[in-house]
Structure 1
């Protein structure tokens, strides 16, 4: 089976074509800056990279170009679009409607559209990707994999907010959580690679990138997560504030900031960027190395927030077997992993500094204590592909 995985954003389109069940990546790529003069398709196949300029291309033109590259004599890996059996779509928000991988039909599309207000930056682009894929790959089954689905087992006492019931009943205001595909992937990998019992475990997964989130996983089910109604809550991120006293919003409003301005501040101008002027962790570390006190403080705040959630989730899980670092920062930043794990020995968390400092793109155990400290590279596209394969072959 050939499965094309699409991750459609407002101005980008990521793709990977897999041969399943072998999990072989036939090719991959990214269309960046869609709708802009600098739009470009970056295609990778057999270790070879090639770029195609697509000035001002929209999503339809971008995906049509991807399909042409897939079947081209020089760069293609298939003979026709009909060879694609399944197109798996990352859909950010499934609300309470979707808790499993789902074959897409008109009713499903209508429900995804109804959730636009809960994910205004993501679900519209996700749905547009679905519409375009139906035209470009008409013979393929279209399947949605929801970021929120992995968190659907969170108990009500953990996902409900202490606000008037009618706000939950009428508007669905509750914790949904995100990055679920990544959390599921690394948790499953920890069982396969490190012998963790899949049905009896207490795991905290830590996804650190430009967006950051954590999940508490007990006996193979997520019981809590740091992001909430939207992706703003929880950890300090590249440009998002993470947890903040709601009073700050009222105070800013009283000081003359309108709601659009406050939304921009908390989503685009806070986090590492708000503290240092830089949103990329590598740039923040460079500033800290040059003596910036603001950058050093930002790194401390970033690590401290993670430590607090590890403690909270250890309590929620009634113990802890392992923590897993993943995402661009989690996989590559040895200093941040060391800072997070410092002075955590009372919880059984001790890091092997020598092993932690070694770079590798392979999964590894860098722990010294009773709690495993694992680094597992995430692969959301592969997780989407395997979920699609499982749904088609087993119905689950």
Structure 2
């Protein structure tokens, strides 16, 4: 089965082509609608088809299915669904919860339906994996009617990534996912932690929006709820400050952890501080989620920082030995899959994420079940 996975952003379009779940080609078109010569997503999709044809892969008409990433599914979607008019309307309804992402994601869907009306399309939601959380985990202690009227609750994000690495860990540990308790740590420019009990998400660090939780590239993560109100009182835009000017960038001026580490090695005190704050927050969540899970079989690092920064992994694991999490420094330096010692009660693992492959897999499964 040939499946094209699309991730449409407001001014970009990422794509990957899979055949029988093996990647054939990938690419990205940026600056759509700006000075790139690509006016809109429709033209971008035509360019994707030209690129695939030029590389000798196929034309769109040879596709068996298309899988789309959509950031927010609200409470309506707990699994991937085949696209129809009702699904499109439902995505529009929850777009107010992800105004920067859902409308752009929807553009890719609408344009592809226009180009290929007879090819089945499936949407996979970032929030779906976390819909197994219980009310005590997803509800905030605010007036209940605000949840009923506006849908204010914890949704969680990066669900596709957390689901992928959990399944991969199951294979590597040679144990059914339903028998495993895992803490998955997605560390990129955006970052989140997930507690997975017997294969299901029971808690995650991102909340109503992707702002909550860990320190990120430009996002603050957890803050006192009064801070946004205070920022507004002193004439600052709270959304801009907390989403675009905070996190690593807010502390030391750099949002890329690779650059932060370079500065820290040169003795930059603010870069050192940024790393300490970043690591401290992760440790807090590991401790909290260990308490919720009761038993932890593995802690998994993934995404850009998690997969490549041996320094961050080392600092995060330092001091966790009493919890049965013992890092083996040489394995960590070699970036091995298992970076814990042989006698570590909890396995420490590095698993590269592949959200597009997970979308392709879920697309295939959704069509088989249809």
Q: Aligned partners of 1:336 and 1:196: how far apart in 2?
A: 28
Partner of 1:336: 312
Partner of 1:105: 84
Q: Is the 8 A contact 1:2 1:86 kept in 2?
A: yes
Deviation at 1:238, TM superposition (A): 0.3
- 1:288 equivalenced with 2:264 (yes/no): yes
Partner of 1:167: 146
Which of the numbers 23, 28, 31 marks the counterpart of 2:29?
31
Q: Is the 8 A contact 2:122 2:366 kept in 1?
A: no
Q: Aligned partners of 1:122 and 1:18: how far apart in 2?
A: 24
Q: Is the 8 A contact 2:335 2:350 kept in 1?
A: no
- Relative to the length of structure 1, the TM-score reads 0.91
Q: Is the 8 A contact 2:184 2:195 kept in 1?
A: yes
Partner of 1:377: 352
Q: Aligned partners of 1:132 and 1:182: how far apart in 2?
A: 26
Deviation at 1:197, TM superposition (A): 3.2
Q: Aligned partners of 1:303 and 1:196: how far apart in 2?
A: 30
Q: Aligned partners of 2:212 and 2:329: how far apart in 1?
A: 30
Partner of 2:17: 17
- Relative to the length of structure 2, the TM-score reads 0.97
Partner of 1:367: 340
Q: Aligned partners of 1:26 and 1:337: how far apart in 2?
A: 32
- 1:76 equivalenced with 2:56 (yes/no): yes
Deviation at 1:138, TM superposition (A): 2.6
Alignment of 1:113-262 (within 5 A): 113-257=92-236, 261-262=237-238
Partner of 1:268: 244
CA deviations 1:84-103 (Å, max 9, x no partner) are: 11110000000000001100
Structure 1 runs (4+) deviating above 6 angstroms are none
Gaps of 5+ in 2: none
CA deviations 1:13-72 (Å, max 9, x no partner) are: 11011112xx221211111121221x3xxxxxxxxxxxxxxx243211111111122223
Q: Aligned partners of 1:254 and 1:7: how far apart in 2?
A: 38
CA deviations 1:320-361 (Å, max 9, x no partner) are: 11100000000000000000000001110111000101146x
Partner of 2:7: 7
Q: Aligned partners of 2:274 and 2:116: how far apart in 1?
A: 46
Q: Aligned partners of 1:100 and 1:302: how far apart in 2?
A: 32
Q: Aligned partners of 2:118 and 2:86: how far apart in 1?
A: 19
Q: Is the 8 A contact 1:85 1:139 kept in 2?
A: no
Partner of 2:366: 391
